[in-house]
Amino acid sequence: MEVEMKIRGLMVDPSTNMPVVILKDPVSEAVLPIWVGLYEANAIALEVEKSTTPRPLTHDLLKNMVTGLNAQVQRVVVSELRGDTFYAVIWMEQNGEIVSVDARPSDALALALRSDCPIYVAEEVLQVAKVLPNADAQPSAQDLRRWLENLGDEDLGKYKM
């Protein structure tokens, strides 16, 4: 089963200074933070703000290639969490055939924004992400999760970085 989620914000993790994309389920209020790289965060932020660049960036190129091949991105799914790594799948349709492509969640999210398609997270990922055992980082991870879950609309804004 998959849960449709929205990108609720983009901010910097205060403990690692790494960008974090905040996915939120509007129905259950579940929050899933996904740490991403700086370049991917920039690509997501540009699309969230509807900013344009003089030349296509990598995710613009991907969207243009999908379109050029007469395909459509139908949805993206954050499908797995193995260790500390999230996995995603991009689902596309081309000439009536459904095609799936393995992707990093950051790339899948950036493409989903550009393709205006829904974002889903597997229920198993939401369950496992909440109880991910990591003895050394658990207190700070729990503190960060608590902090993220208690953020209100005024805290998140459109995006913060």
Q: Mind listing the pLDDT tens digit for each residue in 98-151?
A: 999 999 999 999 999 999 999 999 999 998 886 333 334 334 555 666 666 666
Beta-carbon-side half-sphere exposure of residue 161 (alpha carbons within 13 Å): 24
Q: Are 13 and 34 in contact (CB under 8 A)?
A: no
Which residues, in sequence order, are CB contacts of 138 under 8 Å at separation 6+? none
Which domains can be identified in the chain, with CATH numbers?
Answer: 2-152 (3.10.690.10)
Contact 19, 161 (CB under 8 A): yes
Residue 2 predicted with pLDDT over 60:
yes
- Do residues 21 and 109 touch, judged by C-beta distance below 8 A? yes
Instruction: State the average pLDDT over residues 20-25.
Output: 92
pLDDT confidence of 153, banded at 50, 70, 90?
A: low
Kindly report the pTM of this predicted structure: 0.80
Q: For all residues of the chain together, what is the average pLDDT?
A: 84
% of the chain exceeding 70 in pLDDT:
80
Whose tokens are 């949805």? That residue is: 75
- Which whole number is the average pLDDT over 46-57? 91
